[in-house]
Amino acid sequence: MRGLAARIDAALTAPGRWFRLVEVQTLLALVIGWRLLTRDWTLIADRPAALTQHLNVMAWYPGAPPAWLLVALQVVGVAAVVAVVARRRTRLAFLVAWLAYVALCAWWGASGKVMHNDVLTVTVTFPLLFARPPARGETGSSVAWGWPPRAALAVMATVYFLTGFQKLRHAGLHWVFGDNMSWILRQGAVDRAAGLASFVADHAWLAQGMAGGALALELTAPLWLSIRRTRALFAAAVLIMHSSIWLLLGIDYTAWILTVAAVAVPMSLRVDRPLFARPRVPAPQPAREPA
């Protein structure tokens, strides 16, 4: 057990190349920017104060936030994402983008229902707030650049494992082997996929296969994500799982798909291979002498 802990520690704290942290941080910032841009956050201001629930990180703020504050946070958050992408005051900019995103999402979800749409992005980006990204022109390897993407992987693996663990804890294997998935599909199917949902629900082996596949993927996430070569496969499997949920039930987990891709795909490459490799310029050939 001690040996395993030592190996995990060594893997976490090994030096890492400068470009990997830049890639993961930039891609995660772009996910945050995309979420900030694609919602009408002013809807929060339309929710009456009496219907605003305060059991979240923004509980300290009294009442409902005004529309101007929501738009200001959105603008500041997007500007901070641009700064991260441009690598200008990256550490501060990433923190500002994260804080704006967390504040807006907390208010968005303060209606009484626990919303998980953005929680993976918020959680996985958290370790990167403590990262010291390379300055422009700084290259090489360092412990400071190695651990943040690995910490993001560890947090991501934990989140997926816990979603599976909670299914087992509260429903047991009946979640897979009972008719649970069939009823989820019958009761929650969106109109566009009613026929497909009904087909799956009516074939127990198919519904149980879907449930078993989803649960297995969640519970084995730490394994997939601990091995470099299977990280990209995990991203592909997550894409299939969340896309099928969106198609059949209309629940949007796009932020989960993009967050997994932002971390798992760069981390699936060889340590010396950048995600966006510059095209190699062929060496100039010596001019041939005429015969």
Q: Which residue, 24 or 110, is less far from other proteins as judged by CB?
A: 110
Sign of the alpha-carbon dihedral angle for 40, 257, 112, 182 = positive
Of the ranges 24-32, 77-85, 168-176, 282-290, which one interacts with other proteins (CB under 8 A)?
Answer: 168-176
Among 3, 62, 112, 137, binds other proteins (CB under 8 A): 112
| Segment holding 17, helix H or strand E | strand 16-17
Of the ranges 10-18, 22-30, 265-273, 279-287, which one interacts with other proteins (CB under 8 A)?
Answer: 10-18
Q: Which residue, 158 or 230, is less far from other proteins as judged by CB?
A: 158
The Cα 267–Cα 145 span in angstroms is: 13
Among 28, 83, 84, 184, binds other proteins (CB under 8 A): 184
Q: Which residue, 88 or 132, is less far from other proteins as judged by CB?
A: 132
Residue 11 sits in the site that holds other proteins (CB under 8 A): no
CB atoms within 10 A of CB 191: 8
Spatial contact of 175 and 167, defined as CB atoms under 8 Å apart: yes
Residue 12 tokens, joined: 């976490």
Which parts of 128-147 interact with other proteins (CB under 8 A)? Answer: 130, 132, 142-144, 147
Minimum distance between the CB of residue 41 and other proteins, rounded to whole angstroms?
9
Q: One-letter amino acid identity for 226?
A: S
In this structure, what DSSP letter does residue 271 have?
T
Which 3 state secondary structure label does DSSP give 16? strand
Among 34, 89, 99, 158, binds other proteins (CB under 8 A): 158
Which parts of 261-290 interact with other proteins (CB under 8 A)? Answer: none
Which parts of 207-266 interact with other proteins (CB under 8 A)? Answer: none
Closest by CA position to 151, among listed 19, 2, 20, 30: 20
Q: Which residue, 111 or 228, is less far from other proteins as judged by CB?
A: 111
Q: Mark residues 46-85: x for contact with other proteins by CB under 8 A, - for none.
A: xxxxxx-x-xxx-x--------------------------
Residue with tokens 């002013």: 42
Q: Which residue, 86 or 135, is less far from other proteins as judged by CB?
A: 135
Which 3 state secondary structure label does DSSP give 141? strand
| Segment holding 290, helix H or strand E | none
Q: Which residue, 191 or 289, is less far from other proteins as judged by CB?
A: 191
Among 73, 122, 262, 265, binds other proteins (CB under 8 A): 122
Q: Give Cα 202 to chain centroid, integer Å.
A: 33
The Cα 116–Cα 124 span in angstroms is: 13
Minimum distance between the CB of residue 113 and other proteins, rounded to whole angstroms?
4
